[in-house]
């Protein structure tokens, strides 16, 4: 139970810091979207984007939506941990939340990576993928975590069925 309390504390901290970052991201993305002079440079994935390029505004918009989905996944994970603390593991909401967390993580990754890839291909005539040296923020790991949550949802669905079947036989 202590591990669950530590996990809940860490997820709560990450969520609340992400909420602060979300407000900043929304304000900054709005300023970036309406700046026509190119005065606001943003460094995204190691490359500088300026607001005088319309495609850069689209990339930043997708990045903001990606961040919003990630924060929503953290919100749902907080709810799941709350159910775990109540020892309510195999309910329909947990199953739905696990699946939604997985979808949010995958969509968040794709919405952050694909527009930037297309932007580099069109605007900078650069075709390629950049993979870091195995950090925790790589797209492959994010997609794998999303798929893990979706598989976990299916496992909980099967376990819920077994639990209901077991309760009927007693």
Question: Which H or E run includes 128?
Answer: none
pTM: 0.84
C-alpha 109/C-alpha 128 separation (Å) is: 17
Per-residue pLDDT of the chain (170 residues; tens, 9 = 90+): 789 999 999 999 999 999 998 888 888 877 777 776 766 677 666 666 766 677 777 888 888 899 999 999 999 999 999 999 999 888 899 999 999 999 999 999 999 888 888 877 787 776 655 555 556 678 888 899 999 999 999 999 999 888 888 887 75
The predicted structure's pLDDT at residue 51: 65
Q: How many CB atoms lie within 10 A of CB 63?
A: 22
Q: Which of 37, 64, 30 is nearest to 53 (CA)?
A: 37
The predicted structure's pLDDT at residue 136: 63
């Amino acid at each position: 139970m202590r591990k669950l309390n530590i996990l809940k504390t860490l997820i709560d901290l990450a969520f609340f810091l992400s909420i602060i970052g979300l407000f900043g991201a929304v304000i900054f993305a709005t300023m970036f979207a309406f700046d026509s002079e190119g005065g606001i440079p943003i460094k995204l994935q190691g490359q500088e984007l300026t607001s005088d390029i319309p495609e850069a505004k689209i990339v930043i918009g997708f990045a903001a939506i990606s961040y919003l989905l990630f924060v929503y996944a953290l919100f749902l994970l907080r709810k799941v941990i709350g159910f775990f603390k109540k020892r309510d593991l195999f309910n329909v909401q947990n199953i739905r939340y696990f699946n939604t967390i997985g979808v949010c993580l995958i969509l968040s990754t794709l919405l952050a990576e694909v527009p930037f890839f297309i932007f580099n291909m069109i605007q900078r005539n650069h075709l390629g993928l950049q993979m870091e040296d195995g950090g925790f923020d790589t797209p492959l790991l994010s997609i794998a975590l999303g798929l893990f949550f979706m598989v976990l949802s299916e496992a909980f669905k099967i376990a819920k069925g077994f639990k209901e079947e077991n309760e009927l036989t007693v």
